[in-house]
Amino acid sequence: MKQLEEFFVSTLRDNISLFKALFDKDGIIRFRKFNVCGGIEACLIYFDGMVNVELVNESVMRPLVLAKRLPADENAAEYVYKNLLYSGEVKLVGEVKTAASSILYGDTLLLIEGCKTGLIINTKGWRTRGISEPENERVLEGPREGFDEAAMFCAAMLRRRLKTPDFCAEMTMVGRRTETLVFICYLKSLVNRDVLRELKSRLKKIDIDAVLDSNYITELISERPSSFFKTVGTTERPDVVCAQLLEGRIALIVDGTPMVITLPYLFSENFQSDEDYYINHSLATAGRLLRMLCFFLSFSAPAVFIALTTFHFEFLPSAFALTVAGSREGVPFSTLTEALALTVVFEILRETGIRMPQSVGHALSIVGGLVVGQAAVEARIISAPMLIIVALSGICGLTVPRLKTAVFFMRFIMILAAGFFGLYGYIFMLLAFLIYILGMSSFGVDSTVSLISSENRRFKDVFRRTVWRNMKTRPEIQNNDKVRKNG
């Protein structure tokens, strides 16, 4: 936006000229002139498609046009503000920049001849995608609603679930040009004040011209933005965000995206499913243990197979070793080359299936996985055991979608380490990753605090999901009200 006058003047024509110059190339801004209080000239300024037209006509235009003459001893703007407008939220404004920011977010500006103040009227009415279940976080049991792109509506969805004055939603703007609306949501009595102060400090340091998605903020506030592992969580489900807030965490709602940021983020959350708390605790525990096993297999299976078949063949049972040796007869590539090539092909097929239309993506996955794989084995380009191992590794990686970036890089690093140094390289890299994970933190909170504690109560919602009557305390990320359940 251009920077013109700082404050309104008393001449309506000059005030209108300010906004016409400010948005001189904008085709959706509207200027609606009319007479108010029996003859005083006024003008409504708003953006077409961002306001509720019916609300503007019935709650703004109608009472102003039908009003009687303005009392001689009263200011027109204040009289209209106090006596005539029916809209839910109206406020006086004297700064041009403040008024421009308001109409850019769907409000309507009322200017009256002879007044140095305008009226900002809440008439927001843009179209939204509506409430629907998130595609990437579907559950068989539990709520079916998800966030949409309007930050105001997302905050209202949290407020509807958390019927307590303890819920806070502080508003701030990020981005010099976009001035993207961001809500900082938390429960006042539960939040870790140190984490809240650190978050606000990092948000204030953000100096970027545009924020179009929550990932912009995620990378700018993370301790390790280039890390394989997440230190800031994201979700599209209101029930998940409410559960996080009730544990003393903080949520960031960014206007224009349904992905809500949650922090601090614990490493154990990578293996938790939204559905774990809506099904039987034994089944939820089995699911978590299975996801942990799949994560381990996703990066370990190809590496261990390469190490055993290349450097430590004597560790294999004789029958299995003969089968592997027979299957590799005539294959022109080394085991390491096979594994790298198959892993790359699998990632290509996965990425293509995601980007293509759903019906085409499913067909492509079937053709690529079955037809091409079988043809390659029959042509003796690759060996069948290696195809099975890589396919198993890829399928296991799909069970932990929050760790897909980590799995992608860890798989390649482990394959290279095992391919050059055998089991010694694999064990060394495994220990290196373990040390790295144990050293991670999220806004000053140890990301693995729930994994390394000697207290049994901290494991009630980590490797297993215990029954609700035994989950009496909150996670160790805040020091205020730790008791979740009495008795």
Q: What is the pLDDT along the chain (487 residues), one digit of tens a residue?
A: 444 558 888 888 888 888 888 888 888 888 998 888 767 888 999 988 888 888 888 888 888 888 877 765 567 888 888 888 877 788 888 888 888 888 888 889 999 888 888 899 988 887 777 777 787 777 778 788 888 888 888 888 999 899 888 899 999 999 888 888 899 999 988 888 888 999 999 999 999 999 998 999 999 998 888 888 888 989 999 999 998 898 889 999 999 889 999 988 888 888 888 888 888 888 888 888 999 999 999 999 999 999 998 888 888 888 888 888 887 787 888 888 888 988 888 888 787 777 777 666 666 666 666 677 777 777 788 888 888 888 889 889 888 888 988 999 999 999 999 999 999 999 999 999 999 988 888 888 888 876 655 555 556 777 777 777 777 777 766 666 667 666 5
In this structure, are residues 243 and 252 in contact, taking their beta carbons and an 8 Å threshold? no
Rounded to two decimals, the pTM is: 0.82
Which structure tokens are listed for 261?
């940021």
- Joined together, the tokens standing for residue 73 give 């001893």
146-150 contact pairs (CB < 8 A, 24+): 146/236, 146/237, 146/238, 146/258, 147/236, 147/237, 147/238, 147/253, 147/258, 147/259, 147/260, 148/258, 149/255, 149/256, 149/257, 149/258, 150/126, 150/255
Backbone dihedral region of 272: left (phi > 0), alpha (psi from -120 to 50 degrees) or beta? beta
Cβ neighbour number for residue 35 with a 10 Å cutoff: 12
Report yes or no: 58 and 85 within 8 Å, Cβ to Cβ: no
Structure tokens at 288: 């978590």
Element (H, E) at 312: none
**Which residue type does 94 have?**
G
Beginning with the edge strand found earlier in the chain, give each strand of the sheet holding 233-235 in spatial order: 167-174, 180-187, 250-254, 260-263, 233-235
Asked whether 347 and 408 are in contact (CB, 8 A), the reply is: yes
Of 172, 177, 188, nearest to 253 by C-alpha is 172
Q: What is the DSSP secondary-structure string of 75-140?
A: -HHHHHHHHT--SS-EEEE-BHHHHHHHHHTT-EEEEETT-S-EEEE--B----------GGG--S
Answer yes or no: are the C-beta atoms of 38 and 69 closer than 8 Å. yes
What pairs with residue 441 in β-bridges?
Answer: 446
Cα Rg of the chain, angstroms: 30
For residue 401, is the peptide bond before it cis, meaning its omega torsion is within 30 degrees of 0? no
**Which H/E stretch holds residue 410?**
helix 404-438
Distance CA 295, CA 33 (A): 64
